[in-house]
Amino acid sequence: MAAAESETDKFIKQVSGRNTRGLLRVIILCLIAGAAVASRLFSVIRFESIIHEFDPWFNFRATKYLVQNGFYSFWDWFDDRTWHPLGRVTGGTLYPGLMVTSGAIYHLLRFLTLPVDIRNICVLLAPGFSGLTALATYLLTSEMVTSPSAGLLAAAFMGITPGYISRSVAGSYDNEAIAIFLLVFTFFLWIKAVKNGSMFWGALTALFYGYMVSAWGGYVFITNLLPLHAFVLICMGRYSPRLYVSYTSWYALGTLASMQIPFVGFLPIRSSEHMSALGVFGLLQLVGGVEWIRTQIPSKQFQTLLRALVLFIFVVALGGLVLLTVSGVIAPWTGRFYSLWDTGYAKIHIPIIASVSEHQPTAWPAFFFDLSMMIWLFPAGVYMCFRKLTDEQVFIVIYAVLASYFAGVMVRLMLTLTPIVCVASAMAFSQILDTYLNAKTPKAEPAKENGDSKDAAKVAAAAVLPEGLRSTRQPLIGVYSYASKLTVMGASVVYLLLFVLHCTWVTSNAYSSPSVVLASRLPDGSQHIIDDYREAYYWLRQNTPDNAKIMSWWDYGYQIGGMADRPTLVDNNTWNNTHIATVGKAMSSREEVSYPIMRQHEVDYVLVVFGGLLGYSGDDINKFLWMVRIAEGIWPEEVKERNFFTPRGEYRVDEEATPTMKNSLMYKMSYYNYHSLFPAGQATDRVRNARLPAQGPELSTIEEAFTSENWIIRIYKVKEPDNFGRDHQSATSFDKGHKKKKAPKRKGPRVLRVE
Amino acid sequence: MRSLPLFSSCLAALSGFACAELNLSQPLLSRQVLPSTFTPPRVFKNVNLVRNTNLDKAYPRETINVIIENIDSKSQSEYYLPFETSLLSRVGGLEVKDKKDADKGAFKVEVVGLDAQSSTEFYLIHLPTPLAPKQQQTLSISYSVLSALAPVPAKIAQSEKQYIQYTFSAYTPSAYVTEKQKTKLKFPSSDVPDYTTLPADLNAEKKADPQKQGSTFTYGPYSHVPAGAEQAVSVRYEFTKPLTHATLLERDIEVSHWGGNLATEERYWLTNQGAELKNHFSRVEWQKTQYLNPPSSALKGLNLPLHPGSMDPYFTDDIGNVSTSRFRPGKKENLLELKPRYPVFGGWKYSFRVGWNADLSTYLRKLSTGDTYVLKVPFLEGPRLAEGIQYSKVHLRVILPEGATNVKYSTTVPLVDGKTTVHHTFMDTLGRSALELHAINIMDEFRERDLIVTYDYSWTAGYRKPIVITLGMFAVFAAIWVLGSIDTSIGKSKKA
């Protein structure tokens, strides 16, 4: 920070007031960091200090495990409480950076005897790191342009832009919380390394790259962007020893660092995603060698020969790579990777990826929603980079192009686009500000400074125009006039204010809901908390055996593990598609089919989410088609999506629902006993606006164990096998007093007995 | 009495001039172990004994009024009260007073254990003045029995009435001959469908046994019951209220002189010992009946009456804030109304924590002599329920400010253990003295009992922390300055 400060200070020409400016800059940066943290605290103030959504609950649970059991047992953690009965090698299948970071903070605070709860550390980690991200953005932008204001603007943009806040509000304890800071900071270090050709900065890049690898799967973006930058520079004929030193030190150290993470392991040398880095590394050696030979033998012909040789080797290497991939030595690209190029790929081949809403292609309003005015400043900034096109500005261009594409393909990749948008638009905006604010009204200077051009213009103008034109008489025109300054500045200030307003509004309304807790308003305006999730999870935690297995759709797996502390069948770490399909099949089949599946998996309780009473649309009936689709992928003979639609192609839950739908376990569990809450025949589903059949579904193999206050969570207990060896259907009908269904005996007409 | 000398020697080491005979409450857990062949010497007889069993609450409360007479030739001061081993561990709050002179305070009582084979153990009551031969004295022995009530039937439907059963001996267990005795039972209602009927010829007045009078039953009178005689009887009565049982209560009281604040945090592990649900919980039925608010065996809410002036209450559990609570400040008390996340039916559990702050000045007083402070806090606060709450274990911790020495305490609540430990928190260097008190088998009747803690705290101790933090910050800045001024570059830095 201090070093960077002195570096950037070089740009400030005025020696007088340098210290004052430096101090001012530090204060501004601190305020920006403070604003970045503060704007992420909506959810804590409105609700409470709570972990949000789904994935963060796993990270939180893993962090607690780390803090309680120490680093080594965390590293070797085999979790038998998830993916029952398979289990999960959790220590080897996660990115430990996030947990280790909070664990380190926790132990530091413990060392200072500050009793801060690990939950509060986890909740506030993302806002804290967003403050650091703002600083990193300042550093990165300051490397790009000479204007001192661009960095500050970029930091401010980064601090409050919704595109980044969406993943870093307090409680959003996810890998992205620290990964974006690491991403931006690694890029800053890389630019620094390329500029200086310094091994020190290259090694630092590798260090933070290693940290990034330990924190987020998105590290692949860096792994490909840096080689691409290097490759483009080579192609532009800008090879230099600086590039060689920085790239090789980054690649060698960074790859070693990344291989220390068990989840990554040998991927950097075996998977296709990492091959470009290796290829460019090899290319750099060749180019470096050639350059060296060229200095030895100054022959033009030889040089062209060598260039051909380079090309030849490159082609051979690429061919070898393809060959190795085909033969299976190098892992081919994963499905998630293919879906980056073909947005329809996932929907056809891997429904489980497509079922996640954040993997959908981005809708265009999302760009305006998340980036506001920056979306039109961004191209201007990129254009400005084209004008000069120094090494680091080439980086901006490449980053901008790639990230724009990815952000269009997948909603969640908006996150990687946001930093570059902030940097580029800050460059554009600061250009406006510098032009209009700094331009001193030229009194005597214009004659001196712009003497030649002005004169030339005057001569040219005099040649065409008659004397005495106002514009030629008056030098105080255009940029220099107060009117234009005031207009542009006024407009800029208005834009900035609107930007702040928009960011605050979006943060407060769209991104600050924990989604575990729902809020509604009572008639008197006071806030009413709908806390059904935690009610049911806490019931499970307190009143079921410690190893009762809970079956639910995978969305709720992490939450059940974190809040109810019970083993689950499937969770949000969707590593085993078959297992998920099994659960999907159990949910979408008839009871007679589901019951053996549940018994085989030792399921004790089944949990479903039902929003019909409250009008909560994110419930399981609305997700049901994904369950059907995923199950159909494995058992196309037994589960058919078509059967869940009416002949007219409608997805209905009311009287006209298909028999398959009505007999599916999910339907029965959602609507069991629901009709008795209403007067006869009046039962309505408020999500799907459907009048339900007067006769509710009957359950025989499972029984209702708990339903939360607003019916959002319903928990069913799987019955033990019948004591008499009957099937559950006949046992239930026996209990109800129905006679065993026999072929009805036809009796003759009643005859009056006369004896 | 192992822990007491140890404790007082700790105190002596801390203070230097502690007086061991200061009003320290004595732990109950003395347990001198006797051989299993031990029988108490037959030096007393019970002239008349009346036992009142009150079944109004979720635990039976027994009061035995007995006139004892010394039949030995020497003065005697040790009266033994026998309990079954399994029962003894559940007897709580046993207190003995002189019926005629109750103001004198409770007598000294200790548990006398026999070795493992014995099925009977004793409470040993020390009479303050030895009873001369042929003299009589009236004792009033009161205690409660925890987890003594069993729901019969053990499983009921969700909105059914709950019946519970209490089994006891019609003859009050005694180590001495009892000339005349009877037992009165007070039920919460007159709905008592089942009770043991004893043959009339056992009865001294040859009347039907028991005698019924509304919701009061009387077993006895019986005459000349030998020592150790028992006659098991059981009664079954309606009690459609939760049997709330706290398996553990942890209570922390933190004193802050700087903040002028007394912070209290209580952690409860509750379970309802009532009848379990026959079928599973039905939300439909629950929602339908809640408008009428009928009596239920489920625990629906808890009211914590806090002292006036209590503020900033919170109610959380393992997974965060519980939004269903209300705080109603008032003149007499600040009522904290808690609602568990779900109704706690029989066999279900619910654990949570509540905490609040209060102004220290209403609890703490500085003695005019020197730096001694006196802290007076309730030993137990906790919820107030008509049917009562029983606590198996109570761990109370009073965390005093850093630098408090010479800690002494006094309370009338029977304790099993008490010690002073060191607690590190909030940038402590030496750590704070924390007084840890353990009690078992406590009922909510002990809410009004106070705990009085005295300690020395000099004004210099209060300034230790600001000085330490200031020095620490200076050290950090100095270290940063030193590190920052080191030139780490390898070659000569090229300053253009």
Q: Which chain B residues are Cβ-neighbours of A2 within 8 angstroms?
A: 484
Sign of CA dihedral B382, B383, B389, B392: negative
Of B78, B89, B167, the C-alpha closest to B121 is B89
The residue-averaged pLDDT of B261-277 equals 93
pLDDT of A438 over the 90 cut = no
Convert the pLDDT of each residue in B303-346 to its tens digit. 999 988 898 999 999 888 888 888 888 888 889 999 999 999 99
B349–A538 CB contact, under 8 Å: no
Q: Which residue of B has its CA nearest to A57?
A: B319
The residue-averaged pLDDT of A729-750 equals 67
Report the pLDDT value the prediction gives residue B64, as an integer from 0 to 100: 94
A529–B323 CB contact, under 8 Å: yes
pLDDT of A320 over the 60 cut = yes
Q: Which residue of A has its CA nearest to B346?
A: A543
The closest CB to that of B280, out of A48, A517, A703, belongs to A703
Convert the pLDDT of each residue in A552-575 to its tens digit. 999 899 999 999 999 999 988 888
Q: Is B51 strand, coil or helix? A: strand
Q: Which chain B residues are Cβ-neighbours of A705 within 8 angstroms?
A: 280-281
Q: Choose the mutation target among A678, A707, A718 for the interface with B, i.e. most B CBs under 10 Å.
A: A707
Instruction: Tell me the CA distances in angstroms from A545 to A540, A566, A583, A718, B269, one per residue in order.
Output: 9, 9, 22, 14, 16
What b/e string do you get for B283-314 counting C-beta neighbours within 10 Å, with b at 16 or more? beebeeeeeeeeebbbbeebebbbbebbeebb
Distance from the Cα of residue B471 to its chain's centroid:
45
The answer to whether the CB of B427 falls within 8 A of the CB of A112 is yes
Q: Is A654 strand, coil or helix? A: coil
The closest CB to that of A535, out of B342, B428, B484, belongs to B342
Q: Which chain B residues are Cβ-neighbours of A535 within 8 angstroms?
A: 341-342
The closest CB to that of A115, out of B283, B349, B426, belongs to B426
B129 has a chain A CB within 8 A of its CB: no
Q: Choose the mutation target among A110, A114, A198, A538 for the interface with B, i.e. most B CBs under 10 Å.
A: A538
B427–A707 CB contact, under 8 Å: no
Of A132, A157, A127, A32, the C-alpha closest to A502 is A157
Which band of pLDDT confidence, cut at 50, 70 and 90, is reported for residue A270? confident
Structure-block tokens of residue B445: 């009747």
B281–A705 CB contact, under 8 Å: yes
B491 has a chain A CB within 8 A of its CB: no
B424 has a chain A CB within 8 A of its CB: yes
B428–A113 CB contact, under 8 Å: yes
Mean pLDDT (chain A, rounded): 85
Q: How does DSSP classify residue A560? A: I
Q: Is A466 strand, coil or helix? A: coil
The closest CB to that of B341, out of A50, A114, A534, belongs to A534
Q: Which residues of A touch B (CB under 8 A)?
A: 2, 47-50, 112-115, 517, 529, 531, 534-535, 537-539, 541-543, 563, 673, 676-677, 703-709, 711, 717
pLDDT of A452 over the 60 cut = no
- Cα–Cα dist B414/A378, whole Å: 74
A531–B427 CB contact, under 8 Å: no
- Of A311-315, A547-551, B12-16, the range with the highest mean pLDDT is A547-551
Structure-block tokens of residue A741: 């269904």
B348–A709 CB contact, under 8 Å: no
Q: Which residue of B has its CA nearest to A108?
A: B427
The answer to whether the CB of B334 falls within 8 A of the CB of B309 is yes
**Strands of B32-34's sheet in order across:** B32-34, B108-114, B120-131, B76-84
Look at the block and give the residue holding tokens 């499937």: A570
- Cα–Cα dist A569/A716, whole Å: 15
The residue-averaged pLDDT of A422-450 equals 72
B283–A538 CB contact, under 8 Å: no
pTM beyond 0.90: no
Q: How does DSSP classify residue A372? A: T
Q: Which residue of A has its CA nearest to B269?
A: A542
Q: What percent of chain A has pLDDT over 70?
A: 87
Convert the pLDDT of each residue in A158-187 to its tens digit. 999 998 998 899 989 999 889 999 999 999
Q: Choose the mutation target among B342, B424, B430, B464 for the interface with A, i.e. most A CBs under 10 Å.
A: B342
B448 has a chain A CB within 8 A of its CB: no
Beta strand residue intervals within A280-399, DSSP E: none
pLDDT of A448 over the 50 cut = no
CA A294, A297, A300, A305: dihedral to nearest 10 degrees? Answer: -70
Q: Which chain B residues are Cβ-neighbours of A709 within 8 angstroms?
A: 283
The answer to whether the CB of B5 falls within 8 A of the CB of B140 is no
Supply φ then ψ for residue A71, to 5 degrees. -70, -40
CB contacts < 8 A, A to B, total 71
B484 has a chain A CB within 8 A of its CB: yes
B283–A709 CB contact, under 8 Å: yes
The closest CB to that of A677, out of B284, B317, B318, belongs to B284
Which band of pLDDT confidence, cut at 50, 70 and 90, is reported for residue B453? very high
The closest CB to that of B319, out of A537, A673, A705, belongs to A537
Sign of CA dihedral A292, A297, A300, A305: negative
Sign of CA dihedral A442, A445, A447, A451: negative
Using only C-alpha atoms, chain A has a radius of gyration, in whole angstroms, of: 32
The closest CB to that of B320, out of A2, A114, A534, belongs to A534
Report the pLDDT value the prediction gives residue A31, as an integer from 0 to 100: 95
- Cα–Cα dist B56/A619, whole Å: 47
- Cα–Cα dist A587/A660, whole Å: 12
pLDDT of A378 over the 80 cut = yes
- Cα–Cα dist A712/A721, whole Å: 28
A538–B425 CB contact, under 8 Å: no
- Cα–Cα dist B147/B142, whole Å: 17
Cα B40–B45–B50 angle (5° rounding)?
110
Give the residue, A296 or A704, on which the prediction is more confident: A704
A717–B424 CB contact, under 8 Å: no
Q: Choose the mutation target among B271, B278, B323 for the interface with A, i.e. most A CBs under 10 Å.
A: B323
Which band of pLDDT confidence, cut at 50, 70 and 90, is reported for residue B435? very high
- Cα–Cα dist A707/A310, whole Å: 69
Sign of CA dihedral A657, A663, A666, A672: positive
Q: Which residue of B has its CA nearest to A564?
A: B319
The residue-averaged pLDDT of B162-171 equals 92
A535–B321 CB contact, under 8 Å: no
pLDDT of B365 over the 60 cut = yes
B15 has a chain A CB within 8 A of its CB: no
Q: How many CA atoms lie within 13 A of B111 on its CB side?
A: 25
Of B298, B318, B297, B315, the C-alpha closest to B306 is B315
- Cα–Cα dist A400/A518, whole Å: 37
- What residues of chain B, 303 to 322, have a C-beta less than 8 Å from chain A? 317-322
Instruction: Tell me the CA distances in angstroms from B160 to A632, B149, B302, one per residue in order.
Output: 46, 18, 22
Report the pLDDT value the prediction gives residue A422, as an integer from 0 to 100: 94
- Cα–Cα dist A548/A540, whole Å: 9
Report the pLDDT value the prediction gives residue A336, as an integer from 0 to 100: 64
In sequence order, which residues have a C-beta less than 8 Å from that of residue A411 and are 6 or more positions away?
Answer: A357, A358, A359, A360, A361, A362, A366
A538–B323 CB contact, under 8 Å: no
- Cα–Cα dist A425/A546, whole Å: 54
In sequence order, which residues have a C-beta less than 8 Å from that of residue A732 and are 6 or more positions away?
Answer: A698, A700
B284–A717 CB contact, under 8 Å: no
Convert the pLDDT of each residue in B388-405 to its tens digit. 899 999 999 999 998 888
Composition of chain A by helix, strand, coil, percent to 5: 65, 5, 30
Q: What percent of chain B has pLDDT over 70?
A: 91
The answer to whether the CB of A59 falls within 8 A of the CB of A99 is yes
Convert the pLDDT of each residue in A118-131 to its tens digit. 999 999 999 999 99
A676–B284 CB contact, under 8 Å: yes
Which band of pLDDT confidence, cut at 50, 70 and 90, is reported for residue A478? low
B368 has a chain A CB within 8 A of its CB: no
List residues bridging with B344 in a β-sheet: B299
Structure-block tokens of residue B378: 């309730």
B323 has a chain A CB within 8 A of its CB: yes
Report the pLDDT value the prediction gives residue B11, as an integer from 0 to 100: 36
B323–A531 CB contact, under 8 Å: yes
Q: Which chain A residues are Cβ-neighbours of B351 within 8 angstroms?
A: 542
Q: Which residue of A has its CA nearest to B288?
A: A677
Range of weakest confidence among A330-334, B176-180, B430-434: A330-334
Look at the block and give the residue holding tokens 């220590």: A91
